[in-house]
């Protein structure tokens, strides 16, 4: 019999030692391993076109128009049905994406490197809230914003990041996350402090590297007006940190949780990169005006990587203001965090919660504890409209379904016990 406790200690320590840094930006097909000119990456476990949810299909249509492969939604839908595109999960390429998680070949991405393992991860630039591609919207406004992000935002950011890296060796995301937790963020649905810290870090270098003050001013306004701007590089930090664990024989630590709007899937450190899936949860969210429960799509997005990392819903106690956006009370937020300690391997040495006497966030989801206690991970998430093109309808708290954990536990037992 394998020493599960020792294996989990190894996995936990590898996660704690990870040091994710922003080191550059690039165009997806030029920097992400394995992405070809006809590849579109998506959130969650693998899925075929025929099973894609409305917001996933809407985001796919938008990506086809963005890439110039079709010029209308109707033509884009036909293009997809003609098998012109290869679909693959972001997670298969060291990448992550919020909500639909679409990364098409011509999209700019953050490049994040773990200084401990040398591994890299990738994430797109955040569009903001409302009617955006990641929520399944694809109208002209969405496409124009994406093209502005590629033509203006990307080169300005890349120049500033390169200047910062030349002087400092990379932007320490672990440090920014740690600070943001002390400033009221939980790093999933609230990123206001982290975004402010990132802008503060980059601002002088953006100014010094810019050759176009008009473009620079637009970039600064865009970042300042988008409280979720940090979410994407934060997700990449979580992804590369968890990837640094690698395969640990006998470990029950969860290394991936992801949803594609149809299925929920997990991966376990001791079971290589095998997916264990079930139907995605239907979030019970606080709805925006004008929407009903019938409008809500099943849970979607790679952003569950934040909870897998030990923040997000696991750190709700650090962000009492989040309840204004997702519903509930500050005490509810504390209760959620306290409950997550029951299914985790330990407490994070780097991420602490002031309201809990600086106790470390619950970190390292233990597959066995989830199954034995019946407590499943809690996420604070956004919700997309179930119809393509409609965008976001609300935000709230959602529990991950237990069936995937039970399937993984059975597989673990068959292999090791």
Q: Give residue-wise pLDDT tens across range 3-22.
A: 999 999 999 999 999 999 99
Q: What is the CATH number of the domain that holds 98?
A: 3.90.1710.10
Compute the distance between CA of residue 397 and CA of residue 399 in angstroms, rounded to an integer. 7
Task: Tell me which of 247 and 322 has the higher pLDDT.
Answer: 247
Q: What is the largest CA-CA distance in the chain?
A: 64
Task: Tell me which of 321 and 243 has the higher pLDDT.
Answer: 243
Say what the pLDDT of residue 325 is: 67
pTM: 0.97
Residues 314, 170 share a domain: no
Say what the pLDDT of residue 381 is: 87
Say what the pLDDT of residue 319 is: 95
241 belongs to a structural domain: no
- Quick: pLDDT tens for 335-364: 999 999 999 999 999 999 999 999 999 999
| Residue span of the structural domain in which 176 resides | 18-235
Q: What is the CATH number of the domain that holds 404?
A: 3.90.1700.10
Could you tell me the pLDDT band of residue 1, with boundaries at 50, 70 and 90? low
| pLDDT mean over 281-297 | 90
Say what the pLDDT of residue 389 is: 84
374 belongs to a structural domain: yes
Say what the pLDDT of residue 326 is: 66
Taking the CB of residue 40, how many other CB atoms lie within 10 A of it?
Answer: 21
Say what the pLDDT of residue 47 is: 98
- Quick: pLDDT tens for 31-40: 999 999 999 9
Are 280 and 401 contacting, i.e. CB atoms less than 8 angstroms apart? Answer: yes
328 belongs to a structural domain: yes
Could you tell me the pLDDT band of residue 286, with boundaries at 50, 70 and 90? confident
Compute the distance between CA of residue 401 and CA of residue 170 in angstroms, rounded to an integer. 37
Res. 198: pLDDT tops 90: yes
2 belongs to a structural domain: no
3 belongs to a structural domain: no
Say what percent of the chain tops pLDDT 90. Answer: 89
Q: Which two tokens stand for residue 43?
A: 């959130």
Please name which of 125, 111, 99, 94 lies closest in space to residue 43, comparing C-alpha atoms: 99
- Residue-averaged pLDDT of the chain: 96
Say what the pLDDT of residue 83 is: 92
Residues 219, 258 share a domain: no
240 belongs to a structural domain: no
Res. 163: pLDDT tops 90: yes
Residues 204, 274 share a domain: no
Quick one: angle between helices 192-209 and 173-181, nearest 10?
140
The total number of structural domains in the chain stands at: 2
Are 265 and 275 contacting, i.e. CB atoms less than 8 angstroms apart? Answer: yes
Among 205, 235, 265, where does a domain finish? Answer: 235
């Amino acid at each position: 019999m394998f020493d599960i406790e020792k294996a989990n200690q190894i996995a936990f320590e590898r996660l704690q030692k990870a040091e994710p840094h922003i080191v550059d930006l690039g165009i997806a097909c030029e920097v992400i391993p394995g992405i070809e000119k006809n590849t579109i990456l998506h959130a969650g476990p693998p899925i075929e076109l025929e099973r894609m949810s409305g917001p996933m299909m809407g985001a796919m249509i938008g990506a086809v128009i963005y890439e110039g492969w079709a010029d209308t939604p109707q033509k884009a839908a036909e293009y997809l049905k003609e098998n012109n595109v290869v679909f693959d999960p972001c997670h298969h390429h060291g990448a992550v994406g919020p909500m639909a998680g679409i990364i098409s070949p011509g999209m700019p991405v953050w490049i994040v490197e773990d200084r401990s393992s040398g591994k890299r991860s990738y994430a797109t630039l955040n569009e903001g809230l409302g009617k955006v591609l990641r929520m399944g919207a694809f109208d002209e406004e969405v496409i124009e914003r994406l093209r502005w992000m590629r033509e203006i935002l990307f080169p300005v950011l890349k120049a500033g990041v390169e200047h910062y890296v030349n002087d400092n060796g990379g932007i320490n995301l672990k440090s920014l996350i740690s600070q943001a937790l002390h400033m009221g963020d939980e790093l999933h649905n609230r990123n206001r402090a982290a975004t402010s810290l990132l802008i503060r870090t980059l601002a002088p270098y953006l100014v010094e590297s810019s050759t176009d003050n008009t473009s620079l001013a637009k970039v600064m306004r865009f970042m300042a007006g988008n409280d979720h701007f940090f979410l994407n590089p934060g997700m990449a930090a979580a992804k590369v940190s968890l990837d640094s664990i690698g395969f640990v024989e006998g470990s029950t630590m969860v290394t991936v949780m992801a949803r594609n709007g149809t299925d929920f899937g997990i991966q376990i450190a001791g079971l290589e990169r095998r997916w264990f899936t079930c139907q995605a949860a239907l979030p019970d969210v606080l709805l925006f005006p004008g929407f009903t429960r019938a409008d809500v799509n099943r849970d979607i997005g790679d952003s569950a990587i934040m909870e897998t990392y030990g923040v997000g819903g696991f750190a709700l106690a650090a962000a009492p203001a989040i309840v204004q956006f997702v519903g509930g009370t500050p005490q509810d937020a504390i209760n959620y965090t306290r409950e997550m300690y029951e299914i985790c391997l330990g407490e994070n040495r780097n991420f602490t919660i002031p309201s809990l006497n600086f106790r470390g966030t619950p970190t390292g989801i233990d597959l066995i504890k989830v199954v034995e206690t019946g407590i499943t991970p809690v996420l604070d998430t956004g919700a997309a409209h179930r119809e393509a093109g409609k965008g976001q309808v609300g935000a709230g708290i959602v529990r991950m379904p237990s069936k995937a954990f039970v399937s993984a536990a059975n597989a673990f037992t068959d292999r090791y016990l």
